[in-house]
Structure 1
């Protein structure tokens, strides 16, 4: 086995690749647009129905819909851009600029999507108080003028705080019913702690989920280590998911450890295949939790999970310490890392190593054009290396917690059931 050290000093951004195919934009919206005399009735109907609006596919496919995003402009509105997650290329921002219905305050943008699509989205509104369109700094300035959709009440907490982000789901998209609190489901508890770490050189905030007491609880609890813990709890309320899965018997009672990523800079520093971070998880966090709960030491009953850079780190933790982490749940993992020399480093390490006693459960969004080429090469590498039990799947969405919620539920159910 040839193992090289992870690269250091790599750029803190993904590869800057143009979208390989054009967005399936439609010229005609999914609704009739009003003239000046019909605006009051039009916006009242939009408020009642909620946005975005959907209509039949103009090409006649029952598996697609026309999806129209709407914004109500004001007297000074010069331009509006809508950015559904990964349905737009930052290198070609003009493609997401909405059109204004002549003589009205209606701005619209319509795209053809398969009926299993879901995603979060933002508007960016130019009210005439910045550089003119065409100015070299215009697009960068516009991205600072984010607005939420006032006609959509479906929201998701935003990463790193701020106003919740609007989300949309077409009829056949997976539903996140497992995330809704259920009064009849016994509830576990979540406690917040600060864990000292020699490897990280400080204390790290961690949330500890303790499952509800039940006769079915094993003597030693399986363990889930879920990275980016500050967003999964309290932001997204992952405890409700665990409560429901346990109550339904879909997973056994499990303890969950959710370490804080602190901030974007710390996240880039620690979640890029850093041995000291894995040492924190293995040598400090798990033993600390073991003094509070009866945790298993069996790697086959231990899951490490993460998204984006967290997905990369989950796989790296199992690669470096398969004797402790026997299950990887990586969602939209950044397996392209690093951007530049040594690209797809972890995939190369797995290709040159003997098969490890690790199960992989991987999922990626079909709209993630930057991540997908590396993801598919990882899938091929695992197959060639004999990981016959590895699961790889793609969903119709982007780099998005809205999608990752249901994918997390499915992955935990698969990995925490008895082999």
Structure 2
């Protein structure tokens, strides 16, 4: 077996200004009056063919308040995401006009008197992102999730956003979730109650994001119960800290070979994983989405399926490597319409795969680089690559 992938050189995505400013609009007086009569956040009101979404924050001590909404906030124009204070009150507000199928996570970052703004003078992208990722959830919004750094953030969704029917657990896990040690990692293995030895295998990257309150095992239980997929053995591979993740999940980190030569043989030997490459799927988001594509493209001897969500195709040469996918592969590719850096490259890859007769489903959702959206899309991906046997 090969060793754990050697760390590659960490790279960061290009910091590109939004091609058009986010659709911020003045908060109407009627919305202000409605909030004062019945506080709730965000307030969602129909506005013609779209919806007016108004966020509120109560904070008497803040000098400034930044509203960080996934992919509406432009990290190169943060002043445009500063909330406005309602004169004579401790209330701050900001309104956007959005289509009805939009969903996003968001957090609030206040500036305190006598202290520097957490988002200013941070020219280096990693430090800026760390400050924004530690924003505060909206206390008036009960809908929350955990972001990549483990921070609780809020979720806004409009009436036409795709229904996340499989997200909520319907009871205790029916299968068994166990944690293991392998080659310096601590992967989880979920064996659904319905899994049959030698059956399909799902590798989920950034596995720490899929255990706990946002449970991929629970979602898989739900779609199995609904008869929508063949029950897979699930291998949840942790991404580790920021530096390790950047090193190992970039296009030169060697992760596809580690999955094929270390993880899968281990799962066959100790967990009854199937050996048919056509029934082995790698699922990932962002950098993990790129790894899912590369594994299916470059290790077809071991993996035949991919679920790639918002794949980081900004990396030089990666789209070309992923586009060399064998026609035997089966996959699912999706990207957010708010992802101005990734939308074009993912569309281009979709067309390239279609021209090469690679069977795959392609989707665009109205959202950003966001687990609030990916936690629904991953189920769509599994339904595409692991349909029930009766589906043909």
TM-score with structure 1 setting the length: 0.84
The reply on whether 1:168 has 2:140 as its aligned counterpart is no
SS at match of 2:55: strand
Over residues 143-181 of structure 1, what are the superposed CA-to-partner deviations in whole Å (9 max), with x where a residue is unaligned? 48722211111110222323x111111111122221212
- Alignment equivalent of 2:371, drawn from 401, 406, 409: 401
Distance 1:238 1:79, change over 3 A: same
Q: Give the 5 Å matches for 1:14-413.
A: 14-29=13-28, 31-34=30-33, 42=35, 45-46=38-39, 50-57=40-47, 60-61=48-49, 64-74=50-60, 76-131=61-116, 136=121, 143=132, 146-162=135-151, 164-183=152-171, 187-195=174-182, 197=183, 203-212=184-193, 214=194, 217-274=195-252, 276-337=254-315, 343=316, 345-351=317-323, 353=324, 355-387=326-358, 389-413=359-383
**Cα pair 1:125 1:142 within 8 Å, conserved:** no
Segments of 5+ residues of structure 1 without an aligned counterpart are: 1-7, 35-40, 198-202, 338-342
Question: CA 1:312–1:125 in structure 2 vs 1: closer, same or farther (change >3 Å)?
Answer: same
Structure 1 runs of 4+ off > 4 angstroms?
8-11, 41-44, 132-145
**Any conservation in 1 of the 2:307–2:331 contact (CA below 8 Å)?**
yes
Contact 1:31 1:53 survives alignment (8 Å): no
The residue number in structure 2 matching 1:5 is: none
What is the Cα deviation at residue 277 of structure 1? 2.1
Name the CA distance, whole Å, in 1 between partners of 2:369 and 2:176.
29
Tell me how far apart the structure 2 counterparts of residues 78 and 284 of structure 1 sit (CA, whole Å).
53
What CA deviation, in whole Å up to 9, does each residue of 1:7-39 have, x standing for no partner? x966621112110012111113485325xxxxx
Q: Tell me what 2:4 maps to.
A: none
Counterpart-to-counterpart distance in 2, 1:414 and 1:142:
37
Q: Assess, with a 3 A threshold, how the Cα gap between structure 1 residues 137 and 413 changes in structure 2: closer, same or farther.
A: closer
Q: Secondary structure at the match of 1:147?
A: coil
Distance 1:401 1:142, change over 3 A: closer
CA contact (8 A) 1:29 1:108 kept: no
Give the Cα separation in 2 of the matches to 1:241 and 1:132.
39
In the TM superposition, what is the alpha-carbon distance from 1:273 to its structure 2 partner? 2.5
Larger radius of gyration: 1
Give me the whole-angstrom Cα distance separating, in 2, the residues matched to 1:259 and 1:133.
Answer: 32
Aligned length: 379
SS in 2 for 1:146: coil
Q: CA separation in 2, counterparts of 1:128 and 1:311?
A: 41
Return closer, same or farther for 1:142/1:318 CA change in 2, 3 Å cut-off. Answer: closer
Question: 2: distance between equivalents of 1:29 and 1:321?
Answer: 56
Structure-2 separation of matches of 1:322 and 1:230: 26
Native 8 Å contact 2:137 2:144 kept in 1: no
C-alpha change, 1:293 and 1:31, in structure 2 (3 Å) is: farther
